[in-house]
Chains A and B, each alone.
Chain A
């Protein structure tokens, strides 16, 4: 039998065609049915994300809830209202409750109180944003023990911020507490200018 000198090429071509068809078929199988070719994402993923258990509730879930309206924690209700008020109108209005107090899911589960919200009283959370860093905007408040207030009250970075500042509205300085902790600071003469500081 006379074999064509190109018969091996025909077979190779057939093999390549099978590979391409196989790829196209597998591709059809592999692409999710809800794939959005215009925006390049799987549309169903949005619905699936919604089904995930709630971790972060947002400020609304704290402010709008009636959890703290029960009589036995009446004091807490008043305290919370005060904090919300301060947070909503103050410099920290961009922050969420859960930024400092931990996610809602840790505090409440299945509509019931699970464990107390996290209250961190040391400076870690404050300095996370307010430690001095050259890459921060110049006008952004960063801890400086030479600033007028800090110098006057002799405040070092080890001193608790919340001794004087209310974390919900840091500009609201508890002057009474600050005065109590103030050390008697003698007037110093500036070596270079000779002026009294």
Chain B
């Protein structure tokens, strides 16, 4: 089916190539992971949700690792590394993209300061214990202040809470901007909706929480440490909550356009039943949304425990991580498949070794995990003492069932 009942797949010659390709797909994906992971750390630091105490630092370090690589896809896409900083030197105030440079860098500074405050006690301890060059590095990290008094600790705690609090709107700003860039393209029926920033934000939080869950399980499995099931359960409850909003908004966007049945639908309808049928309707909406939605609902309502919780949580998280990746692909690439003539669709071809191919995308997506691993060799990220308490009764019931 073609748009506007066109008899011929008509598109202009300059639309044959999709210019915003995989790099622009993974760029909002990585920024989303930053925002999502930061929200989890803020749930403990700002909203005092005790269950996430043990993963607050882990979430913060993860957000930092993802943040380090958020702009790399752009660098590869634009291909002028020597001009990368020009956007900071001569920013144009009417350009949303130049505003991003400042939002992103200030957010990274905020993240680093918060991380520094959280790890200051450890830096001081290491500075006192270690000699030689390593000792100097630890000392440099303490900025020369090697006393950790209770007053200083209290002050650090207050400041961390404050930074985490302003970090939430800042993270929303960072990721809402990405949706804004797409949502404000009025000429593209698939992008132009004021819902776009909120959809991007919600899916960012979903992908961040789901990715943390996967990373947490992997680290615990590799290091043969016990799992904190209470934390996993709570994390999945939050994931479900955020995903309900995300899924609802994604659906709302389509239902609204379909119900209005206006000129946008004349293009979006054929787009969804044509080029995006597999990746959007079947992939993103049907398989990767409905199944995790049901699994998370089951976890929330029926409180599974032990291995069952672990497997279900990981399955749902893995599907949601993919769901958000599919969503980015469907938005970024899908929008560009629509011809400006509104009479046809172009095609997207995956490249593998090209500068914006699948291999560079895999390398960039793997890089944050490599950095995370390196950081984890130097500083303790996950606490080794899991909290396994559970509301009285339920744990016993579950144990009875399993034995």
Interface residues of A (CB under 8 A from B): 3, 5-9, 11-12, 15-16, 23, 27, 30-31, 35, 37, 40, 133-135
The one of A16, A37, A135 that contacts B10, using a Cβ cutoff of 8 Å: A135
Q: Which residue of A lies closest to B15 (CB)?
A: A135
Bound CA–CA A133/B147 (angstroms): 77
Q: Which residue of B lies closest to A29 (CB)?
A: B89
Asked if residues A134 and B8 are in contact (CB atoms below 8 Å), the reply is: yes
Bound CA–CA A134/B15 (angstroms): 14
Bound CA–CA A37/B116 (angstroms): 38
Bound CA–CA A23/B105 (angstroms): 12
> Given A15-B143, A16-B109, A134-B8 in contact, is the A9-B155 Cβ separation under 8 Å?
yes
Asked if residues A8 and B120 are in contact (CB atoms below 8 Å), the reply is: yes
Q: Which of B202-240 contact A (CB under 8 A)?
A: none
Contact with A along B72-115 (1 / 0, CB 8 A): 00000000000001101110100000000000000001000100
Bound CA–CA A2/B195 (angstroms): 54
Bound CA–CA A167/B89 (angstroms): 51
Asked if residues A3 and B143 are in contact (CB atoms below 8 Å), the reply is: no
Q: Which of B132-169 contact A (CB under 8 A)?
A: 142-145, 147, 149, 151-152, 154-155, 159
CB distance from A91 to the nearest CB of B (A): 23
Q: Which residues of B contact A37 (CB under 8 A)?
A: 90
> Given A9-B159, A11-B144, A16-B109 in contact, is the A31-B89 Cβ separation under 8 Å?
yes
In the complex, whether B12 has a CB less than 8 A from a CB of chain A is yes
Bound CA–CA A10/B142 (angstroms): 12
Asked if residues B143 and A11 are in contact (CB atoms below 8 Å), the reply is: yes
Bound CA–CA A11/B149 (angstroms): 16
Interface residues of B (CB under 8 A from A): 8, 10-13, 85-86, 88-90, 92, 109, 113, 116, 120, 142-145, 147, 149, 151-152, 154-155, 159, 341
Q: Which residues of A contact B145 (CB under 8 A)?
A: 3, 7-8, 11
Name 11 A/B residue pairs within 8 A (Cβ), A-sorted.
A5-B149, A5-B152, A8-B120, A9-B155, A12-B116, A27-B88, A27-B89, A30-B85, A35-B90, A134-B10, A135-B13
Q: Which residue of A lies closest to B143 (CB)?
A: A11
Asked if residues A6 and B13 are in contact (CB atoms below 8 Å), the reply is: no
Bound CA–CA A7/B144 (angstroms): 10
A-B pairs with the 8 shortest C-beta distances?
A5-B151, A5-B152, A8-B145, A11-B143, A27-B89, A30-B89, A3-B147, A5-B155
CB distance from A31 to the nearest CB of B (A): 6
Q: Which residue of A lies closest to B116 (CB)?
A: A12
Asked if residues B90 and A31 are in contact (CB atoms below 8 Å), the reply is: yes
Q: Which residues of A contact B154 (CB under 8 A)?
A: 5
The one of A6, A23, A31, A40 that contacts B92, using a Cβ cutoff of 8 Å: A40
Q: Which residues of B contact A15 (CB under 8 A)?
A: 143
Asked if residues B149 and A8 are in contact (CB atoms below 8 Å), the reply is: no
Bound CA–CA A23/B88 (angstroms): 10
CB distance from B8 to the nearest CB of A (A): 7
Bound CA–CA A105/B256 (angstroms): 59
Q: How many A-B residue pairs have CB under 8 A?
A: 46
Asked if residues B142 and A8 are in contact (CB atoms below 8 Å), the reply is: yes
CB distance from B144 to the nearest CB of A (A): 7
Bound CA–CA A16/B143 (angstroms): 12
Asked if residues B143 and A12 are in contact (CB atoms below 8 Å), the reply is: yes
Q: Which residues of A contact B341 (CB under 8 A)?
A: 135
Bound CA–CA A11/B10 (angstroms): 63
Bound CA–CA A9/B152 (angstroms): 10
Asked if residues A8 and B151 are in contact (CB atoms below 8 Å), the reply is: no
Asked if residues A40 and B116 are in contact (CB atoms below 8 Å), the reply is: no
CB distance from B311 to the nearest CB of A (A): 44
Q: Which residues of A contact B151 (CB under 8 A)?
A: 5
Bound CA–CA A121/B13 (angstroms): 26
Q: Which residues of B contact A6 (CB under 8 A)?
A: 152, 155
Q: Which residue of B lies closest to A40 (CB)?
A: B92
The one of A8, A12, A27, A35 that contacts B152, using a Cβ cutoff of 8 Å: A8
CB distance from B108 to the nearest CB of A (A): 12
Bound CA–CA A82/B147 (angstroms): 93
Bound CA–CA A30/B84 (angstroms): 12
CB distance from A129 to the nearest CB of B (A): 13
Other A-B pairs, 17, CB within 8 Å; known A12-B113, A27-B88, A134-B10: A3-B145, A3-B147, A3-B149, A5-B149, A5-B154, A6-B152, A6-B155, A8-B143, A8-B152, A9-B155, A11-B145, A12-B116, A12-B143, A15-B143, A27-B89, A135-B11, A135-B341
CB distance from B117 to the nearest CB of A (A): 9
Q: Which residue of A lies closest to B8 (CB)?
A: A134
Q: Which residues of B contact A30 (CB under 8 A)?
A: 85-86, 89
Bound CA–CA A190/B230 (angstroms): 84
Q: Which residues of B contact A35 (CB under 8 A)?
A: 90
> Given A8-B152, A12-B143, A15-B143 in contact, is the A135-B85 Cβ separation under 8 Å?
no
Q: Which residues of A contact B113 (CB under 8 A)?
A: 12
CB distance from B147 to the nearest CB of A (A): 5
Bound CA–CA A133/B16 (angstroms): 14
CB distance from A22 to the nearest CB of B (A): 13
> Given A5-B155, A9-B155, A40-B90 in contact, is the A135-B12 Cβ separation under 8 Å?
yes
Bound CA–CA A134/B155 (angstroms): 70
CB distance from A21 to the nearest CB of B (A): 15
Bound CA–CA A23/B85 (angstroms): 11
Bound CA–CA A53/B225 (angstroms): 69
Bound CA–CA A12/B88 (angstroms): 23
Q: Which residues of B contact A23 (CB under 8 A)?
A: 88
